[in-house]
Structure 1
Amino acid sequence: MGKNIKEIIASYNDELVAIRRKLHKEPELSWQEFKTTQFVCDYLEQLNIPYRKTEPTGVIADITGGKQGKTVALRADMDALSVYELNRELEYHSQEDGKMHACGHDAHTAMLLIAAKALNEIKDELEGEVRLIFQPAEEVATGAKEMVRQGAVESVDNVFGIHIWSQIPSHKIQCAPGPSFASADLFKVIFKGRGGHAAMPHDTVDAVMIASSFALNVQTVVSRTVNPLRPAVLTIGKMEVGTRFNVIAENAVLEGTVRCFDVETRQHIEAQIHQYAEQIAAIYGGTAEVEYNYGTQAVINDKDSAELARQVIEQSFGEESYYLDDPTMGGEDFSFYLDKVPGCFALVGCGNAEKDSQWAHHHGRFNVDEDTLKVGSELFVQYAVNFLKRNN
């Protein structure tokens, strides 16, 4: 069946590219993927694949095989980003100013649709059921959790996801056991001092000094309080303080993110941020309020699932295609599926400087080497077929 799958996917390659380009031209932000949802539904309807819409956006579909067996789920996300596309020379560049598929979710959706078409073509040979999850709102880390709540992984035995990845060379695929993506939390620190005239600093509590001291010193949470064998990142990405040049600021607001791979480190950093903020504010005579919000959890690939993925990759694309690299500190809400069922998450390389597809995710020039789209589609199908075959 393996060779047959490759031929089927190859025969749909032009359609695969066309779907990806259509979706790229029509990006929709998180929880606004109404046209994309309808496009997916219309496509599945043409294939006579039963589906249901989730609320407010998203689609869950099922392909029932000719033989009874277990159920494997395949997931693709659909949302775009608030990024202005700089690739204006492309015929298929975003038609929505300030919105762009700058992370490859258009590719993911296209790959899963063609995978669905291929799986539907061979469904009589399937030894079980394939669940298709077209997920909204990955970029705001709430889509997967909501899809789970709406039954996406009910009666599912295993789940598999793919992310196109520009930091990996085209046609290479990474899917190792253990950590893949870090947890991604958000925090906000609100400092309050006492404002006043810039010429009279002795009558004030300067929020600029408090915020600056915190921004510098909080980095020692990682460098001096976290076990160096446990990777962690603490980044402050936004600071708002002051109103004009001759007014000492009364308030300051900082926002940042924390990334790590284990719960203990995550909780420790949260506690340290509270302590640093409160103590530093007190030194200057001010106060601090910390808002810490848990976002996505770490994506930890199940050992058996990742081993299956490795075997599928090597058998389908050659041993040289299997790629090993360090996990990323990026966040992915695929973790919420793995909370419920075992599975794994693969990165399909699309980085190719000759095709200008080496740009970082979320950059205005991000693009995909479209020759790799068929790799992702085939990987979806091959993983599903092999999981069902080996577990029934």
Structure 2
Amino acid sequence: MINKTIKEGIQKYSDELTAIRRKLHSEPELSWEEYETTNFVSAYLTELGIKHRKTEPTGVIAEIKGGKPGETVALRADMDALPVEELNTDLPYASKEKGKMHACGHDTHTAMLLIAAKVLNENSEDLPGNVRLIFQPAEEAAAGAKEMVKQGAVEGVDNVFGIHIWSQMPTSKVSCNPGPSFASADIFKVTFKGRGGHGAMPQDTIDAAVIASSFVMNVQSVVSRTIDPQQPAVVTVGKMEVGTRFNVIAENAVIEGTVRCFDAATRDHIEKQLQVYAENTANIYGGTAKVEYIRGTQPVINGKESAELVQQVAAEAFGEDALYYEKPTMGGEDFSFFLDEVPGSFALVGSGNPEKDTEWAHHHGKFNVDEDALVTGAELYAQYAWAYLNK
């Protein structure tokens, strides 16, 4: 199942892999702004002789044609950074862009896939099928994968595979389990309207601050009292805007939050209950409520066959002890939109190493990766494609 030439090739280009990652890390671009990253990827693929096209407004779709007929497997890497200030300013490859940082590891994904593409291209004559390469923008906006699908990223694809570097796992461990991996990630906004007035005359008012506060306290019972406890779910209120002055009773209040779960029925139920709780809470106090619910990413559900293939590949490539069980996360990942179209799976590659201070949470200003994990990720991309096409 494992191609030794691929393993040797990845090792041969390990220094180049690290250099690419560091270049991308120092030059972060936010969602839908990845113009220079797109140009870099395009130029790199051009030099390799890999046919590709740029997508709009950013992103690249490429394809390595195998020397033998067969299926098409897609490999995906996201490219965007975050509006986070880098706190690791002593790094020689620290972000050059104030307020922007690769705080989630997408720089590593792009670098790993480029080197995987280089090695696969060198062995293309032996490939029984084709490898689609998807360099995706705007994952952090939960919109890039959906747009890439619209622009043909998975047309003619039989299977899709993605990787996320993961600081919460030990370096170079691999986790890819059948079933739920990442949760759906939705956004809700509730606007309460009361009747404002003087802080000394509450009898003449309907206090939006009281309505909103009551809703925040009560809405948690949607999860604790209306959902099967064996179905994980999270309702989080992350933002609350209310009031204008210390002695003015608020007329308006706006609450924003997120909903995370793995099950479609649970998702539908929470959406309905948010409406019920908001309207009834407002009614108790004589106010009104308007609820906006925006569905973001779907849950990432790994296909059984694909996930088991990842486990087999990882065990053969890196040893049985490389396999790791990472429980499903309530984090969101728009890779789900690819899995809505074709079968596949999404793996985690560990990069946490306390000796290198790389165990910081994703999206933190001190986030960094143990670069020893890059070779593991690049080889996993390439070996998965090889194994799938030769299965």
TM-score w.r.t. the length of structure 2 is 0.99
Q: CA deviation at 1:171?
A: 1.3
Corresponding pairs, count: 390
Aligned partner of 1:111 in structure 2 is 112
Q: Which amino acid aligns with 1:125?
A: D
| Secondary structure in structure 1 of the residue aligned to 2:191 | strand
| Secondary structure in structure 2 of the residue aligned to 1:237 | strand
Aligned partner of 2:358 in structure 1 is 357
| Secondary structure in structure 1 of the residue aligned to 2:390 | helix
The answer to whether residue 11 in structure 2 is matched with residue 10 in structure 1 is yes
Q: Which amino acid aligns with 1:120?
A: N
Q: CA deviation at 1:5?
A: 1.3
Q: Deviations over 1:338-366 (max 9, x none)?
A: 01100000000001111111000000000
Aligned partner of 1:23 in structure 2 is 24
Aligned partner of 1:156 in structure 2 is 157
Q: Deviations over 1:209-232 (max 9, x none)?
A: 011100010000000001101000
Aligned partner of 2:66 in structure 1 is 65
Matches within 5 A, 1:114-133: 114-133=115-134
The answer to whether residue 77 in structure 2 is matched with residue 76 in structure 1 is yes
Q: Deviations over 1:322-345 (max 9, x none)?
A: 111210000000011001100000
What is the CA–CA distance in structure 1 between the aligned matches of 2:250 and 2:292, rounded to whole Å?
A: 21
| Secondary structure in structure 2 of the residue aligned to 1:115 | helix
| Secondary structure in structure 2 of the residue aligned to 1:331 | coil
Matches within 5 A, 1:250-269: 250-269=251-270
What is the CA–CA distance in structure 2 between the aligned matches of 1:373 and 1:243, rounded to whole Å?
A: 51
What is the CA–CA distance in structure 2 between the aligned matches of 1:288 and 1:98, rounded to whole Å?
A: 36
| Secondary structure in structure 2 of the residue aligned to 1:259 | strand
Matches within 5 A, 1:323-362: 323-362=324-363
Q: CA deviation at 1:30?
A: 0.5
| Secondary structure in structure 2 of the residue aligned to 1:309 | helix
Q: CA deviation at 1:7?
A: 1.2
What is the CA–CA distance in structure 1 between the aligned matches of 2:82 and 2:384, rounded to whole Å?
A: 29
Q: CA deviation at 1:197?
A: 1.0
Q: Which amino acid aligns with 1:244?
A: R
CA RMSD of aligned residues (A): 0.7
What is the CA–CA distance in structure 2 between the aligned matches of 1:86 and 1:204, rounded to whole Å?
A: 47
Instruction: Structure 1: state its 5+ residue gaps.
Output: none
| Secondary structure in structure 1 of the residue aligned to 2:85 | coil
Matches within 5 A, 1:1-392: 2-390=3-391
What is the CA–CA distance in structure 2 between the aligned matches of 1:246 and 1:98, rounded to whole Å?
A: 36
What is the CA–CA distance in structure 1 between the aligned matches of 2:135 and 2:257, rounded to whole Å?
A: 29
Q: CA deviation at 1:2?
A: 2.1
| Secondary structure in structure 1 of the residue aligned to 2:114 | helix
Q: Runs (4+) of structure 1 moved beyond 3 Å?
A: none
What is the CA–CA distance in structure 2 between the aligned matches of 1:183 and 1:235, rounded to whole Å?
A: 13
What is the CA–CA distance in structure 2 between the aligned matches of 1:229 and 1:373, rounded to whole Å?
A: 36
